[in-house]
Amino acid sequence: MKFITVDSYDKMSRQAANIISAQVIIKPDSVLGLATGSTPIGAYKQLIKWYEKGDIDFSRVTSVNLDEYVGLDGHDEQSYRYFMNKNFFEHINIDLDNTYVPNGCAVDLQGEGKAYDEHIRQLGGIDLQLLGIGHDGHIGFNEPDDYFIKSTHVVDLHESTVKANARFFASEDEVPKRAITMGMVSIMQAKKILLIASGKEKREILEKSFYGPITPRIPASILQLHHDITVIYSEN
Ligand code: GLP
């Protein structure tokens, strides 16, 4: 594991964007595993800038996102599909047909999960998975539990996660209580993982995740077993 500490959100974002762009330059048809949340926004902005300069070409890239709220369709401004379109996809030359986000409105959510995993398998797996981390150590929406869940599945969000994510909604009541998230197999089988985190309040969970015991009570701790993971942490 490489654990890089930097002193600003901007540096973290630029370093993350550098790693993602190197991946796309080396393998133009990369499968990128992408994340939502406030943390990756700066990296997406930087990648958009480099795309506009002509430095990166996303035309052959495929993306698979980690998760989606159950019950929100892609037109809903709080959905992760909408987030990805607005914060990244609409500003670069990725083919929208090659961008995948789990369908939180699928009638058969279990079937959607199975199909999502099968799709990732058919793509040959994820080349580079970008991750954020929740305050309770969740990655994607893999919440603390008695065991690690392997496949893409529906999850009841913990109260602390609903509270943390309420800042994106008009009120806490509007935050969906369920989500569909990629499970640990697709994440752990990614060839490379890049986890980014920023702010002093994330320090403790990072220490527990990467230097403590591996336990499903801290989902991100499983990443200690990954053979090629880089963590970039900005203290501010
Ligand atoms: C959400 C997402 C996660 C993300 C986490 C942290 O719960 N499902 O993928 O890592 O939020 O968000 P932030 O980056 O805003 O701290």
Q: How far is the CA of 131 from the centre of ligand 1 (A)?
A: 8
Residue 138 annotated to the active site: yes
Tell me what pLDDT residue 165 has.
Answer: 92
The active-site residue out of 112, 117, 127, 138 is: 138
- Quick: pLDDT tens for 123-182: 999 999 999 999 999 999 999 999 999 999 999 999 999 999 999 999 999 999 999 999
Which residues have CB under 8 Å from 211's CB, separation 6+? none
Give CA–CA dist 116/53, Å, rounded: 34
**What CATH fold (topology level) applies to the domain 2-229?**
Rossmann fold (3.40.50)
| Domain assignments of the chain as residue spans, ordered by start | 2-229
Ligand 1 touching residue 104 (CB < 6 A): no
Percentages (nearest 5) of helix, strand, coil residues in the chain: 40, 20, 40
Q: How far is the CA of 138 from the centre of ligand 1 (A)?
A: 8
Q: How distant, in Å, are the alpha carbons of 85, 97, 137, 177 from that of 166?
A: 21, 30, 18, 11
Give CA–CA dist 198/43, Å, rounded: 12
Ligand 1 touching residue 31 (CB < 6 A): no
Q: How far is the CA of 115 from the centre of ligand 1 (A)?
A: 24
To the nearest whole number, what is the mean pLDDT of the chain?
97
Which residues have CB under 8 Å from 199's CB, separation 6+? 234, 235, 236
Tell me what pLDDT residue 113 has.
Answer: 98
Tell me what pLDDT residue 16 has.
Answer: 98
Give CA–CA dist 110/184, Å, rounded: 16
Tell me what pLDDT residue 97 has.
Answer: 98
Tell me what pLDDT residue 90 has.
Answer: 98
The active-site residue out of 112, 117, 143, 153 is: 143
Q: How far is the CA of 37 from the centre of ligand 1 (A)?
A: 4
Residues of the chain with pLDDT under 70: none
Ligand 1 touching residue 67 (CB < 6 A): yes
Ligand 1 touching residue 219 (CB < 6 A): no
What tokens were used for 226?
Answer: 């990954």
Residue 143 annotated to the active site: yes
| Ligand 1 atom, smallest distance to 66 CA | 9
Q: How far is the CA of 165 from the centre of ligand 1 (A)?
A: 8
Ligand 1 touching residue 182 (CB < 6 A): no
The active-site residue out of 10, 57, 136, 145 is: 136
Ligand 1 touching residue 220 (CB < 6 A): no
Ligand 1 touching residue 176 (CB < 6 A): no
